[in-house]
Amino acid sequence: MYKEAELKKIFEGKRIMIAGFGREGRSSYKLIRKLFPTSSSGVALAVADKNLNITTDQLLANDTDLSIFVGDDYLAHSAEYDIILKSPGIPTFDFENIVPLQRVSSQTDIFLQIYGSQTVGITGTKGKSTTTNLIYSVLKSTKPDTIMAGNMGLPLFDIVEEINSDTVIVLELSSHQLENIHQGPYIGIVLNLFQEHLDHYHSYLDYKMAKLNIALRQMPRDVFIYCSDNDELAQLADQCDIKSIKLSYSINNPVDKGCYCDGRYFRMMPGNNIIYDIESQRYVKGEHNLSNCMAVFMVGHCFGIPDQMIVKAISEFKGLEHRLEYVGTKCGITFYNDSISTIPEATIAAVEALKDVDTLILGGFDRGIDYSKLVNFMIGTDVRNIVFVGEAGSRIYNLLKEGNALQGKNYILSNSYPDIVGWCYTNTAEGRICLLSPAASSYDMFKNFEERGRVFKDLVLTTCK
């Protein structure tokens, strides 16, 4: 295992608690037990989780040196441990008044301390998965020893066996993964900042600063790439003490260092134009994805990859499930699944990208997000039919109704997706688009946005024969 000694040095002689025993927690357990098979080999290990069932988990069944804490007070023993490896789903403030927060770490924190110098990290409220996959495709085309992991589902400790000195690592990173890091990646990218995950933070500022850790924890030789079109992000990048090399990109204005778009060209500053035909974005529709492609170009340039190879990788990209995903054209109506949309800005970008949306499905679990921007946007659109789902949908409905924005519109309030899809077939005009882009979380009715998107797709494909 490459850098095994450095990994061991972090854990050796420590009392370690794995907080949360989902996919990432299991991954942490496996790696630590590989490095230290028993407590006599240098560590004392514990697992803590609300779920009572982990006490019978087969992975843990024969580990007699392991302490297990379960139930509502599963974190009560945290103060007894030197390192708490927190899973992303547990808010850091759950540890306040229990343990000094400097002891709270994570897989991402440990991973970047060891492998950060060969890592490209991508974060932002929206666009992370698409941009991460695009960057991976571009780098893989010239650097076969490139691997991808992170927030899309593959825990970082699962890839350590694949890493060697020449490996390039591409990571999608969430705010939850970044909030406790001590070292940033070699290249850190922030795509945008919008209100999201406010239930995990004391304030919106705390959420933004968690994201910006990707740059604040970099070394002077590292590179920070960000979109200057996002006002809040641009202000933070100017105000914060970032020691790495700062490069920005814009689709609106020239930049001093970085890249901006002029018609069908990207212009790298200073100097050369990249011949990039905007029409080649067959699978990455919309201005927001044009912006993400600029980040991809900048990473490619950092690695010396020729422009034509970057263009080829982008033009061949097939897109990702639940992200402006083309479902099909049935009964003359074209359906798109954008279930990943959990904030207003993502829904606005989706409607603008597709340009011919006749029916829009909005709502789900209400996390208290400000919907005024979406309401103002809806007043000026050609969307004729609106479905309002869940408590978030009800709140959006009331806001539109108060503003007299529903006059001349068809709409329903429903929590039944079979009824919703049937209504969409009845009311959407032939030749136009029905779009699922909810601007809300899915947790009221589904276990995640993926399940919501797949239910929608299945119903679309089976309702109209």
pLDDT for 350 equals: 87
More confident residue, 88 or 360: 360
What ranges do the domains of the chain cover?
Answer: 4-105, 108-315, 325-463
Report pLDDT digits (tens) over 42-56. Answer: 789 999 999 998 988
- Contact status, residue 167 vs residue 343, Cβ threshold 8 Å: no
pLDDT for 130 equals: 86
DSSP 12-71: TT-EEEEE--SHHHHHHHHHHHHH-SSGGGT-EEEEEES-GGGGG-TTTTT-TT-EEEES
Strands of the 104-105 sheet, one edge to the other = 67-70, 44-49, 15-19, 83-86, 104-105
Q: What is the pTM of this model?
A: 0.76
What single-letter DSSP state applies at residue 406? T
More confident residue, 2 or 126: 2
Confidence of residue 275 (pLDDT cuts 50, 70, 90): low
SS3 364: coil
Q: Tokens 């209504």 appear where?
A: 423
pLDDT for 12 equals: 92
Q: Name the phi and psi angles at 423, rounded to 5.
A: -65, -40
Q: Calculate mean pLDDT across residues 237-264.
A: 89
CA 139 centroid distance within chain: 20
Taking 80 as the threshold, does the pLDDT of residue 212 lie above it?
A: yes
Taking 90 as the threshold, does the pLDDT of residue 285 lie above it?
A: no
Taking 80 as the threshold, does the pLDDT of residue 465 lie above it?
A: no
At the topology level, CATH places domain 108-315 in: UDP-N-acetylmuramoyl-L-alanine:D-glutamate ligase (3.40.1190)
Report pLDDT digits (tens) over 324-351. Answer: 888 989 999 999 999 989 989 889 988 9
At the topology level, CATH places domain 4-105 in: Rossmann fold (3.40.50)
Strands of the 187-190 sheet, one edge to the other = 146-150, 168-172, 119-123, 187-190, 223-227, 245-250, 258-262, 265-269, 273-275
Taking 90 as the threshold, does the pLDDT of residue 178 lie above it?
A: yes
Q: Which amino acid is at 320?
A: L
Taking 70 as the threshold, does the pLDDT of residue 263 lie above it?
A: no
Taking 70 as the threshold, does the pLDDT of residue 264 lie above it?
A: no
CA distance 216 to 114: 17
Confidence of residue 277 (pLDDT cuts 50, 70, 90): low
Neighbours of 355 (CB within 10 A): 10
Q: Calculate mean pLDDT across residues 356-366.
A: 95
| CATH of range 325-463; options 3.40.50.970, 3.90.190.20, 3.90.245.10, 3.40.228.10 | 3.90.190.20
pLDDT for 262 equals: 75
Mean pLDDT is lowest, of 145-149, 386-390, 407-411, for 407-411
Q: Calculate mean pLDDT across residues 305-317.
A: 84
What single-letter DSSP state applies at residue 198? G
| Same topology between domain 108-315 and domain 325-463 | no
